[in-house]
Amino acid sequence: MFVRKLAAPALLLVLNCLPANAQTTADAIKARLVGQPLYLRGCWMDDDLKFNADGQPEKGFHPGPFTEAGIDVRKVKLSHGQLQIEGQRVVLEFHNMVPTRINIHSANYAGSVSIKIQSPPNGDFSKALDAVFAPDLPSLVPSMPFYWQNFARTHILTPGEENASIPPQALASGDKPLQIGGAVTKPVVLQQPSPQFSQIARALKFSGAVMVHLWLMQDGTPSHISVVEPAGLGLDEQALLAVSQYRFQPAMKDGKPVTVDLYVNVNFQIL
Assess if residue 143 is contained within a domain. no
Q: Quick one: 121 and 222 in the same domain?
A: no
Task: Assign 19 a pLDDT band (cuts: 50, 70, 90).
Answer: low
User: How high is the pLDDT of residue 161?
Assistant: 62
Up-side HSE of residue 222: CA atoms within 13 Å toward CB? 23
Look over the chain and give the mean of its residue pLDDT values, rounded to a whole number.
Answer: 88
pLDDT of residue 204: 87
More confident: 80 or 211: 211
Answer whether residue 225 is part of any domain.
yes
Q: Determine the structural domain holding residue 102 and report its residue range.
A: 25-136
Q: What is the CATH number of the domain that holds 241?
A: 3.30.2420.10
pLDDT of 23 reads 84
How large is the average pLDDT for residues 114-120? 97
Domain co-membership, 33 together with 131? yes
Domain boundary among 85, 117, 136: 136
Strands 112-118 and 48-51: parallel
Query: Which of 241, 240, 237 has its CA nearest to residue 66?
Result: 237
- pLDDT for 101-110, tens place per residue? 998 877 777 7
Last residue of a domain, one of 136, 162, 182: 136
Is 177 in the same domain as 124? no
**Residue 178 and residue 131 share a domain:** no
Number of domains in the chain: 2
Residue 7 pLDDT exceeds 50: no
Q: What is the pLDDT of residue 3?
A: 42
> pTM value?
0.84
Strand 208-216's sheet: what is its strand order? 222-229, 208-216, 260-268
Cα separation values, 258 from 97, 127, 218, 238, Å: 31, 51, 5, 27
CA distance 205 to 194: 17
Shared-domain flag, residues 129 and 202: no
Asked if 126 and 55 sit in the same domain, the reply is yes
Residues 177 and 237 in one domain: yes
Q: For 200-258, how does the pLDDT look when each residue is reduced to its tens digit (9 = 90+)?
A: 999 888 999 999 999 999 999 999 999 999 999 999 999 999 999 999 999 999 999 99
Is 8 a domain residue? no
- Does residue 165 form part of some domain? no
- Whether residue 259 contacts residue 216, with contact meaning beta carbons closer than 8 Å, is answered with yes
| 223 and 180 share one domain | yes
Inform me whether the pLDDT recorded for 53 exceeds 60.
Answer: yes
What pLDDT shows up at residue 176? Answer: 83
Give the model's pLDDT for residue 264. 97
Residue 240 lies in a domain: yes
* 251 occurs within a structural domain: yes
One domain, residues 41 and 93: yes
| Alpha-carbon span 72 to 66, nearest angstrom | 14
Last residue in a domain, options 109, 136, 163: 136
Cα-Cα-Cα-Cα dihedral sign, residues 57, 58, 64, 70: negative
Q: Residue 20: which pLDDT band, with cuts at 50, 70 and 90? A: low
First to last CA, the chain: 79
Segment 145-172 shows an average pLDDT of 71
Q: How many CA atoms lie within 13 A of 192 on its CB side?
A: 9
112 assigned to some structural domain: yes
30 contact partners, CB below 8 Å, separation of at least 6: 76
- Co-location of 51 and 128 in the same domain: yes
Both 32 and 132 in one domain: the answer is yes
Residue 86 lies in a domain: yes
DSSP character at residue 206 = -
What is the mean predicted confidence (pLDDT) over 68-80? 95
Is residue 103 domain-shared with residue 185, that is, in the same domain?
A: no
